[in-house]
Chain A
Amino acid sequence: MNANLAERFAELPHLLSGHVLLSMSAILVGLAISLPLGIQAAGRPRLAGLVLNAASIIQTIPGLALLALMVPLLGGTIGYAPAFLALMLYSILPILRNTIVGLQGVDPVVREAARGIGMTPGERLWQVELPLALPVIVAGLRTAVVWVVGAATLATPVGASSLGNYIFAGLQTRNWLSVLFGCLFAAGLAIILDQMIRLLEVAARERRRGLAAGVGLSLAILITASVAPRYIAFEPAGRNSAVIAGGAADLTDETIVVGAKAFTEQYILGALLESRMEAAGARIDRRDNLGSTIAFDALRTGEIDVYIDYSGTIWATVMNRPEPIHRHAMLAEMTGWLWAEHGILALGGLGFENAYGFAMAREQAAALGVTSLADLAPLAAQMTVGGDAEVFSRPEWVMTRDLYGLGAMQTRAMDAAFMYGAVRDGQVDMISAYTTDGRIAAFDLIVLDDPAAVLPPYDAVILLSPDAAANPALVAILAELVGAIDDELMREANRQVDLDRQTPDQAAQWLAETLEAGGADR
């Protein structure tokens, strides 16, 4: 717990700064767009209707989906840009709507008085209409701030660092302290910003310069404090500047971006890659919690340099090949295809397979007399299968369902962190498990046989972006990991995090030490 807490605090400067930068810039730009637009629209009912409808449509898109949509819209760019764009769009509606409503709500008598005594349109706007609409506009701004600071936690899966990293990572590794950490800091940030804006409004209304200066100063301190770590930690350096002739494994002065998807094994492997490359002198930028296809797109465009993916996933979702083939043939064909199509280097398998497998509680399976997927068809109508968010739309499930006649089975999507407990406790009858998960053994689950070989192999492979593939030192260092981790080793590392409450960094360290010690045997 102590190591856990210390590790969370160590991440805080980086994540908080990412969060503040992202949400503040989104709100400021959103304000700069929606305030003038609202002023223009307030006196033009048709324009007002048009822009409000447009903003409302954006608002109805769920935050996570809006963020994810920005990635393909920006041509596969991940990180700050798509997150900023989505949150900025998100901040527009409340500010725009309240600007329009606030200005339209100004008493017509007061409006006419302003015209009648000879104020210019600009004087009327700045000295009468805006000041009178200010409380309503500020209320909209405060709503936007709370929304955006909250929604910025969803920026994690598109590769932008935010306090959401705590929440996503904590959820996957069942590290509730981490989840709580993220929630508390995000909520605290939202409340502080909200109150600061409220005080600024009071200062403006009551013409209290001291108060305005005080709040302005605290805002400046908050922003400086959150932004400073970014520039202290990462002084700019050319990425490919120092490739040492002769291919020596030296990455001094290079920045390598390591991606990881959103589950325990990926965090551990990300940390392992990090420690390996850091030992060679590289600076590492981690992008954890990427969505499955987002990670691949980011690698393709060079947004990240390296991450671990699984042959079956690339086969089905990137290559769009429905029929599984033999493990080694798939690995070979995939490697060739990635290189030819995208210039992506599949360095080789890590040595273990993390396949999808359908698991049941041993007792229940025995009671029903089930050992194989082929036994399930007559029972399907009474059964519920749980799985992570993507599995039910993946070919693996579709083919399993169709081939074994499981169409009558009810499906229930849930976070991968919860499904092992759910099947153990009988809340669902079967789950789509990952075969390297330590909880299969720990919870006394059995993985059902797949006699028709519907489920494809899932060799973990190291993938390098085209740029990174051209870096011999990097390739040399990562090549040491090829074939180094077997199923058992990976399952044990996963178990340490999922059940023993170790942090992924600790598990990665254990893994590194074990590899070191057993290096001779392998």
Chain B
Amino acid sequence: MSSATSPVLDIRAVRKTYHGGVEAVRGVSLELAAGQLLVLAGASGCGKTTLLKMINRLEEPSGGSILFGGEDVSDLDGVALRRRIGWVMQGDGLFPHMSVRRNVGLIPRLAGQDPARVELRVREMLELVRLDPSEYGDRMPAELSGGQRQRVGFARALAGSPELVLMDEPFSALDPITRDALQQDFKTLQAELGFAAVMVTHDMAEALIMAQDVAVMRAGQIVQTGSPKALMSAPADDYVAGLLDTPRRQMRAIAELAG
């Protein structure tokens, strides 16, 4: 973990223009402190996933810079950088031809750890995400439920002891009950292990529940950054207010039913 004084992640005026002139990200600056959980929220196509992928160099920025632990990511080897950063994606992204054990142990194994240590790490990770290693270790991804697969996805991302975890819509493919359980478990895990995380979601309610800080994006730019509370009490503009309105209306409707 990096020191408390310098941010884990320092994004400075980053831009991304695709071939054909589409501007996906138009000058975004953000900071992420050690242990902080930041949620990038916004509608589809607002550039939040592109921004996320520029952090671990799955995409290259067209301008600006991204510092990870004080180093410009463009100076780092892409593969080495990605091994230091956990990656969780929508629909789990597990390797269907590998057992749960081999999926979770992949990064330690590629890093050259001996099999006994890898196995120890796999057990530890599966227990962290509340899957019994002896029951689930030998299963193939196809033999798991959606929620279990996403848990394995988290375990795989955390097995390399990353300083930072990036998550692209990790809960969106799950049913509401599973999603709620996983959200809570993840929050606990993140607080316990103390890694920093950036999560992308289009679901405003999820953003409010999970985040320490929310950054709302629109058309490639950040409209507002702040704690969920700050956003709720003082939305920066009508767009943010509109986004917040939906979960609020739903809550009110549900409260009326109960009362």
- A116–B58 contact, CB under 8 A? yes
Other contacts beyond A117-B156, A119-B106: 17, CB < 8 A: A109-B89, A110-B93, A112-B89, A113-B94, A113-B95, A114-B95, A116-B87, A117-B83, A117-B86, A117-B106, A118-B81, A118-B84, A118-B107, A131-B97, A132-B95, A132-B97, A205-B97
- A110–B82 contact, CB under 8 A? no
Question: Does A328 have its Cβ within 8 Å of any Cβ on chain B?
Answer: no
Mark each residue of chain A from 118 to 132: 1 if its CB lies under 8 Å from any CB of chain B, else 0.
111001000010011
When C-beta atoms are compared, the residue in chain A nearest to B94 turns out to be A113
> In whole angstroms, what is the CA distance A119 to B58 when docked?
12
* 22 pairs, CB–CB < 8 Å, chain A vs chain B: A107-B96, A109-B90, A110-B96, A112-B93, A113-B87, A115-B58, A115-B82, A116-B56, A116-B58, A116-B87, A116-B93, A117-B82, A117-B86, A117-B87, A118-B79, A118-B80, A118-B83, A118-B85, A118-B160, A120-B79, A128-B97, A132-B97
Question: Does B157 have its Cβ within 8 Å of any Cβ on chain A?
Answer: yes
- B110–A123 contact, CB under 8 A? yes
> In whole angstroms, what is the CA distance A115 to B166 when docked?
13
> In whole angstroms, what is the CA distance A115 to B93 when docked?
11
Total contacts A to B, CB within 8 angstroms?
59
Tell me the smallest distance from the CB of B240 to a CB of chain A, in Å. 30
Beta-carbon contacts under 8 Å, B74-123 to A: 79-87, 89-91, 93-97, 106-107, 110
User: What is the interface of chain B mostly: helix, strand, loop, or mixed?
Assistant: mixed
Mark each residue of chain B from 180 to 210: 1 if its CB lies under 8 Å from any CB of chain A, else 0.
0000000000000000000000000000000
> In whole angstroms, what is the CA distance A132 to B85 when docked?
25
Number of interface residues of A (CB under 8 A): 17
Q: Which residues of the other chain, B, contact A128 by a CB distance below 8 angstroms?
A: 95, 97
> In whole angstroms, what is the CA distance A416 to B166 when docked?
75
Q: Which residues of the other chain, A, contact B56 by a CB distance below 8 angstroms?
A: 116
Tell me the smallest distance from the CB of B144 to a CB of chain A, in Å. 15
Mark each residue of chain B from 48 to 88: 1 if its CB lies under 8 Å from any CB of chain A, else 0.
00000000101000000000000000000001111111110
- B82–A109 contact, CB under 8 A? no
> In whole angstroms, what is the CA distance A123 to B94 when docked?
15
Tell me the smallest distance from the CB of A496 to a CB of chain B, in Å. 63
> In whole angstroms, what is the CA distance A332 to B96 when docked?
77
- B58–A112 contact, CB under 8 A? yes
Tell me the smallest distance from the CB of B98 to a CB of chain A, in Å. 8
Tell me the smallest distance from the CB of A425 to a CB of chain B, in Å. 61
